[in-house]
Amino acid sequence: MSGDIFRLDGKRALVTGAGRGIGLAIARAYAQRGAAVTLCARSEDELQAAVADLRGKGLVAETMVANVTDIEAFAALIEARPAFHVLVNNAGTNRPSPLSEITLEDYDAILGLNLRAAIFVVQAVTQRMVADGVAGSVINMSSQMGHVGAAKRSLYCASKWGLEGFTKAAAIELGAHGIRVNTVCPTFIETPLTKPYFEDSAFRDEVLSKIKLGRLGQVEDIIGAAIYLASDASSLMTGSALMLDGGWSAG
């Protein structure tokens, strides 16, 4: 290795769930470090605004308007493009609810996006990588909830524990092709999606009591790990989980 091993020059990166929050922050950071970034989400207006901002700064970015739960349509979009070097599999959702109250609709929504779609996104992107002979990095956005349990999060935990297992299995299969597969596992991050949860002071206090560093995560806390896993700095890392949980899972 030579030069700045955290640079991403010459790499094509796909970030799903990139319209806002963590996904947008990662896409911006990748573009700033030299990658050609494709921002993928359902929200065309958000994507267009984000890409216009990046291009206005002289960075390379494009949109991919897609619903990743439409497996066939997403695969067709990937097949029509050159292989990516980096995938950030970030699209996800949650519907906190006690076990006694979860519904089939909840199951389909959470597992359908967080696990089913995530698996087939990896399948589509890595098949293209293998076909084009491209080595690279798959980064599955998991959670501390893929390593612990929590009340009102039975489905979310199930989806993230499943994603952790899938990541290890995929790493074994894809290693021979030079494709690394890892997870990033944040604690609670303040985003537009999670902000309403913290308006409940009791919930906020409970969360903070378990985060040993004593604060909620910020979107910026995820960027370093995402850059590391996308770059040559992590060239020997696969099948692993980067815990960004402030010590939650330490006990």
Q: Which CATH class is domain 12-189+218-243?
A: alpha beta
Buried b (16+ CB within 10 A) or exposed e, 19-32: bbbbbbbbbbbbbe
Dump the DSSP string for 165-195.
HHHHHHHHHHGGGTEEEEEEEE--B--TTTG
Segment 1-14 shows an average pLDDT of 89
pLDDT above 70 coverage of the chain, percent? 99
Segment 174-191 shows an average pLDDT of 97
pLDDT in tens, 24-82: 999 999 999 999 999 999 999 999 999 999 999 999 999 999 999 999 999 999 999 99
d(Cα 161, Cα 149) in Å, to the nearest integer? Answer: 10
d(Cα 204, Cα 209) in Å, to the nearest integer? Answer: 9
d(Cα 84, Cα 199) in Å, to the nearest integer? Answer: 39
Segment 84-97 shows an average pLDDT of 97
CA distances from 192 to 15, 19, 97, 202, 218 (A): 18, 11, 19, 19, 11
**Domain residue limits, the chain:** 12-189+218-243
**By the 8 A CB rule, do 88 and 23 touch?**
yes
Segment 207-226 shows an average pLDDT of 97
Segment 94-98 shows an average pLDDT of 95
Q: What is the pTM of this model?
A: 0.96
CA geometry: angle 163, 232, 37, nearest 5 deg = 70
User: Who wins on pLDDT, 196 or 120?
Assistant: 120
pLDDT in tens, 222-233: 999 999 999 999
d(Cα 9, Cα 19) in Å, to the nearest integer? Answer: 23
Single-letter residue type at 249: S
Q: Closest Cα partner for 184 from 140, 228, 218?
A: 140
pLDDT in tens, 126-148: 999 999 999 999 999 999 999 99
Q: Give the residue numbers marked as catalytic.
A: 156
Give the distance from CA 150 to its chain's centroid: 21
pLDDT above 90 coverage of the chain, percent? 96
Alpha-carbon dihedral sign for residues 41, 29, 148, 161: positive
